[in-house]
Amino acid sequence: MTVISIEPATPDRWEDLQQLFGPTGAYGHCWCVYFRRRAKDFTGSVSCSPPERGASNHETLKRVTLDGKVPGLIAYEDARPCGWVSVAPREDFIRLSRSRSLRPVDPNEPGVWSLVCFWLPPRRRRKGMGSRLLIAAIDHARACGGRVLEAYPIDTAGGRAPSAEVYTGTVRMFQKAGFTCTAHPVSGRPIARLALKEG
């Protein structure tokens, strides 16, 4: 696979993001806004039919993107979108601050960015695209002034897991990129962190 570029999801790339996710959105109507919505709002949308839930989530991502918040990065091959990583300042992901298992140890720590999701079409998986997106996310967060990049991978203990279960990435993947992985003090969930700037 020849990846031409990995670019920020700016307003002018909204159509590309829609094309990448397809008519039902990434992960079955999620549209990669799970971490951007309060649990009660997302759960409320779950009670809707899948098309209604997808429409609500689609509008959330569209609003964020067209407002210029840059919700993540899009990978392109031959000018066609082929991969996605959701990375932004940690405060953009409201669910993190309310989550018992992922709540920040220091919610007032400045300059923390979070990487919460990867999405690749099935035929693009297990070909190294996730690692390329991770490196691009590191560079993007650093260029935007981030001091720390934080992520919430799963530990596959050296094995493999279904793609739908590793949308946040794996511990091994982040460790290979230089992240330090520790257990969340309350939940024990792995938290991966990488200092982007000294001091």
Give pairs for 102-107: CB < 8 Å, separation 24+.
102/152, 102/184, 102/187, 102/189, 102/191, 103/184, 103/186, 105/184, 105/185
Domain spanning 5-195, CATH class: alpha beta
Instruction: Provide the whole-model pTM.
Output: 0.90
Q: What is the pLDDT along the chain (199 residues), one digit of tens a residue?
A: 566 799 999 999 999 999 999 888 887 788 999 999 876 665 555 555 666 767 888 999 999 999 999 999 999 988 899 999 999 999 999 999 988 889 998 989 999 999 999 998 867 666 778 899 999 999 999 999 999 999 999 988 766 665 567 889 999 999 999 999 999 999 999 999 999 987 5
CA 155 remoteness from chain centre: 17
Rg (CA), the chain: 16
Bridge partner list, 11: none
How many other C-beta atoms are found inside a 10 Å radius of the C-beta of residue 19?
A: 13
- Amino acid identity at 140: H
Number of CB atoms found within 10 A of residue 199's CB: 4
Can you state the percent helix, strand and coil of the chain, rounding each to 5?
A: 40, 20, 40
In the beta sheet, which residues pair with residue 115? 87, 151
pLDDT at 28: 76
